[in-house]
Structure 1
């Protein structure tokens, strides 16, 4: 196979180096007299290629961000032409796809096509895992695994909150979790409230659990439609016999020999006619028993093939670290231990644990199925970091101006912006005109502002663009955004702090 790679002047050396490294294909690079490859158009490229004889090539790959339909180039050159990747570093991925017989796109960057292909492959693997799973019982169409894969995710929502809040939270996480668990605080004893909130969730079609220290509330919850009851223990087992047809999570009150005590409760429950049981010897928080509790899980797993649950919220909630890595690691530990059901929370610093654990369970399920490490699977949780650090080659570093202090603005407009982040970015310009713009794309918001307000000077436009970029990043990772304040208070490279507080801009 022979391929022609089209690029511009600035990226030419890098693309030529990539071309040399390509395997099982012969690749040539054509450098057009245009500085930035991504700013070219298909019409420009077609015009430059129309006089060339290119019949020796099987494919032409143009930069992924070139505007227009690559079919125009194909019509001129008579050579199959596709859009390549957005980043030249990923050209090998596009070439590899062509070698495998995959068809790329005339209008979409190859990244999007390859991404869809990866997702399709992952979905097929996960469907196969679901079909082959070892299940103990089924509740309302939800099959509970004895062992992973697959996994099931239970999320506990604070039941003392307003019912509308509970419903909105359930809707927010519904794509990522299997069961909504209403967690009522210790000492709560309001049967009517329990009944009302469970019925509301059931009416919306959710599979529901109830977690309460009150036996009365657990019984009322079951009668109102709750599918899972948290928790069956050594003290309430006799009273909960009246609702034994429901599914229960067994969690001991004892803090000693948890595996043994959990198994004793399980055996007693089975003798009394309880059938749908999940065992939870309870995960302890870091520093106060995490390792020992993991050992108890291992002991219990060796004693029974009953389904097990791990409340990983006990760790993610009680360590001040970004939840994404903690959730991924705990999910992998659960997978090794043979624990297929996970209980999580999703609020404050653990917000979006639902997404993180959902993705982690897919990764670990595929890794368990393929007996591989949870890496290079086509799915990952690399949100804040990249797998590899790619260093740009910087020529003549000594010729760059080096800035080691904060530079205050020299010119200001007769107006200023307020930028806030909620469900989207909200920008308000206050000056001669008053303009309000909202959206998800910071760059587009900035462009619309410049359309509406004609006399914003370059220095102020630079500032607004900088703040909008921060706002968009904050929105994407669900982080607090405060105008004029650093988005990250800590980092691996420290930028000296401002020597004075900025005036409102």
Structure 2
């Protein structure tokens, strides 16, 4: 790399004939903004994906005035050979020429630092009292790693578990903060004695004894629609000096969801300085839809209303990464609200099913590439027009991968089992990418946002 500043450099950009016009437009814009001089070389080939170091050594000319040579990211071979041959610095740029602005530090905002948030996540282990202790601890550790600030020991209504104290003690031994979700006095008192710091929940049925434990409680109405009971309970609990937060209770869709959201707004206006909680699992667990978008919207409501904590579960399969999703969501909404910006093009971790952007190859480019191939190695593309499979023996395209493979096999009868497996695997990934609206690049993994970064916490769980 030359030591000259960019505005004193002369850069040589290498491309194929099909991309030359587009490259000139992009490079002209970059030159205007960064001040470098440039030349463009097309070494007698249609498609940049066919460029190879050996070909460039024979066909490329590099003037003395050139400071750097920018190659397409598709170039095969060891570019050190080019540096030694031309005595100039060479570098692979991006595979897509439209990514050049980002490559040169332009065209993309600096990544926001999403290290701040205002919402506490309470991750509930559902029916913890019926599970082996080791499983409960392992699940709690996973939840904490994914972003849970407090682990909630979910008990079973109508049952009294004598091991609750042991469960809380084991979780505290892992340096985890713990809450207890029970109305059973024996369970609650054992959990508090073992170090639980929050009791879910307090209403008229247990207010006479739960407020004597000196532990923070979550105050809920006697029934979700009984707003007056919540007001009376708040007054009574406050008079005892017991620390508390309130939860007006969000109800599932179809069971009064919108009305329950309104109750949170009414409660916040009535109690502007009181801590609040929302049990978001009532929506995520009971709505058959991928949970990431639901978590994002609920996090936005909590952030804007100053609801400082949420209780979430991740039991049913479509919610199995809810803790990590809400962790990403709470950071994103905090950034958006604090900086008064829309939560777009800030962080893509919650875009899991589809991709943020799609950049396909034109029919002209694909046909030219297929016509120029001189080897038997297969290239695979997933485009709106269909799947494309090509090598020097043909170009097969369509919507049905089995049909494409059968046609390719007739023209390439010597494909061995290993190669057939590879092609089947890649064709399956290409079909999946096309179906979901994701970018497919042969031999590269598909992007699944946050879901692609999780392992232990994303393990399949049994539906409850």
Task: Say yes or no: TM over 0.5.
Answer: yes
List aligned pairs for 1:269-418, cutoff 5 A: 269-275=237-243, 277-304=244-271, 305-347=273-315, 348-395=317-364, 403=398, 407=403
Q: Classify 1:33/1:278 alpha carbon distance in 2 versus 1 (closer, same or farther; 3 Å).
A: farther
Q: Classify 1:68/1:370 alpha carbon distance in 2 versus 1 (closer, same or farther; 3 Å).
A: farther
* Alpha-carbon distance in 2 for matches of 1:75, 1:243: 77
Q: How far off its partner does 1:47 sit?
A: 8.2
Q: Among 463, 470, 475, which residue is 2:424 paired with?
A: 463
Q: How far off its partner does 1:44 sit?
A: 7.4
Q: How far off its partner does 1:172 sit?
A: 2.2
List aligned pairs for 1:92-241, cutoff 5 A: 92-97=101-106, 118=111, 121-123=112-114, 126=115, 129=116, 149-158=117-126, 159=128, 160-175=130-145, 176-191=147-162, 193-241=163-211
Counterpart position of 1:85: 94
Q: Classify 1:218/1:465 alpha carbon distance in 2 versus 1 (closer, same or farther; 3 Å).
A: same
Q: 1:63-89 deviations in whole A, cap 9, x for unaligned?
A: 446578978877887877655334332
Q: Classify 1:307/1:67 alpha carbon distance in 2 versus 1 (closer, same or farther; 3 Å).
A: farther
Counterpart position of 1:29: 40
Q: How far off its partner does 1:157 sit?
A: 0.9
Counterpart position of 2:24: 16
Q: Among 34, 37, 54, which residue is 2:65 paired with?
A: 54
More moved, 14-23 vs 232-241: 14-23
* Alpha-carbon distance in 1 for matches of 2:48, 2:132: 54
Q: 1:278-317 deviations in whole A, cap 9, x for unaligned?
A: 2111110012111001100001111121121111111111
Q: 1:32-77 deviations in whole A, cap 9, x for unaligned?
A: 456764676779768876742234x6x6544446578978877887
Q: How far off its partner does 1:477 sit?
A: 8.2
* Alpha-carbon distance in 1 for matches of 2:331, 2:449: 22
2:212 matches 1:242: yes
Work out whether residues 334 and 340 of structure 1, in 8 Å CA contact, stay in contact via their aligned partners in 2.
Answer: yes
Task: Report SS of the residue matched to 1:155.
Answer: strand
Q: How far off its partner does 1:30 sit?
A: 2.9
TM-score, length-normalised on structure 1?
0.66
* Alpha-carbon distance in 1 for matches of 2:169, 2:100: 54
Work out whether residues 257 and 296 of structure 1, in 8 Å CA contact, stay in contact via their aligned partners in 2.
Answer: no
In structure 1, the gaps of 5 or more residues are 100-113, 130-148, 414-453, 480-505
> Cα RMSD over matched residues?
3.9
Q: How far off its partner does 1:215 sit?
A: 2.3
2:222 matches 1:253: yes
Pairs aligned (count) = 391
More moved, 46-55 vs 261-270: 46-55
Q: How far off its partner does 1:156 sit?
A: 0.8
Work out whether residues 355 and 447 of structure 2, in 8 Å CA contact, stay in contact via their aligned partners in 1.
Answer: no
* Alpha-carbon distance in 2 for matches of 1:151, 1:79: 53
Counterpart position of 1:427: none
* Alpha-carbon distance in 1 for matches of 2:43, 2:242: 74
In structure 2, the gaps of 5 or more residues are 1-6, 368-384, 387-393, 410-414, 434-444, 453-464
Counterpart position of 1:417: none
* Alpha-carbon distance in 2 for matches of 1:233, 1:319: 27
Task: With a CA cutoff of 8 Å and minimum separation of 6, indicate the structure with the bigger relative contact order.
Answer: 2
Task: Report SS of the residue matched to 2:207.
Answer: coil
Counterpart position of 2:436: none
